[in-house]
Amino acid sequence: MHATHSAQPRQPRIATDSQVSRLPMTATPPAVATLPITPALPEVATLPITPALPAVATLPTTPAPPATATLPTTPALPDTDVEPSTPTESVTPVDAGNGRASVLVTGAASQPGGRRGDPGAGHTGLAMTPPAEPTPPAELGALLPRPRLEVAPGAVHLPDWLDLAEQRRLVEACREWGRPRASGEPGLRATRLPSGGVMSVRTVCLGWHWRPYRYSRTVDDGDGAPVLPFPRWLAELGRRAVAEAYRDPAAGAAYEPDIALVNYYDEHAKMGLHQDKDERGRDPVVSLSLGDTCVFRFGNTEHRNRPWTDVELYSGDLFVFGGPSRLAYHGVPRTRPSTGDPATGLRAGRLNITLRVSGLGAG
């Protein structure tokens, strides 16, 4: 008899632990890890924010100063005279220019002391005092009118007194006066001081020859030749200057200058504070400026210290001082190079012509 087996249904197989660990469960994390999340960061980082900064940084603000700095005002600036220097200096050819605009700086209370130096041409007792910077800027000064100014009682500044033709005539005359002498000596020469120092300005004298501290009819500290004559037309110019400065025709008619000191300043030349007191007369001193602008320092009559006033003298300017200011200390702390007008015939430097009354008679 055959045994009969009933069919048993197949039981599902249950995976063991080891099998479970091998199940493909790791597939899910990669899917999560590769989600497009990181691309979003670059998009945020590349937003057009930084370009805006350059746009602000490049606003047209810096170009404005150059425009102001290049205003055509510097040619108008001529400068002042010179202080003596101890080293010997080489002779520089005469040539300078012209300018326009004045700046005033008035000194405050007096300073103690002050270095004493040797005198300048036609003066006694030069001092080396630190120059004061003029304000406002020269560019502004050149844009403003320069009125007649009484710096001190008897001291008058007339801007642009000489026209261009008169300036050219004076420059040509100075060139003739400054030519080498028959002896071979230069016409314009640096004066040697008793201390042994040599002045930084070059000087030629008319009518009377000046050397520290006296006048003579011959070039005693040179070749001994006679001094150049003082021309009549220059005396007439001096009379007109006094009449117009003081608004007094009678004072002008009575003015009889017989000395002219012609000083040439290169860009390094200076003139220390001094008094013009080697003359016996106390008639006014007439000062004419040609070429580069200079700072003319006009002080008090007691000493070389403050108070003083700095005046910018341009080519063609007239300065007259007499009366209570006749013995005022004055000097030129600096000359401003390349401020002159070549149309005057002077390519570089400054010429200063001072007219005086010697009070020495016929000599």
338-348 pLDDT, tens digit each: 999 999 999 99
Q: What is the pLDDT of residue 354?
A: 98
Q: Which residues pair with 202 in a beta bridge?
A: 190, 264
Check: CB of residue 81 under 8 Å from CB of residue 270: yes
Which of the residues in the chain have pLDDT under 70? 1-142, 363
Q: What is the pLDDT of residue 145?
A: 84
Check: CB of residue 351 under 8 Å from CB of residue 170: yes
pTM for the whole structure: 0.66
Q: What is the pLDDT of residue 13?
A: 52
Beta strand pairing status for 318-321 and 155-158? antiparallel
Reading the block at residue 175, the tokens are 């060139």
Positive or negative: CA dihedral 357, 294, 176, 119: positive
How many angstroms separate the CA atoms of 299 and 329, rounded? Answer: 5
C-alpha 188 chain-centroid distance: 24
Check: CB of residue 235 under 8 Å from CB of residue 90: no
Q: What is the pLDDT of residue 144?
A: 80
Q: What is the pLDDT of residue 99?
A: 36
How many angstroms separate the CA atoms of 60 and 282, rounded? Answer: 60
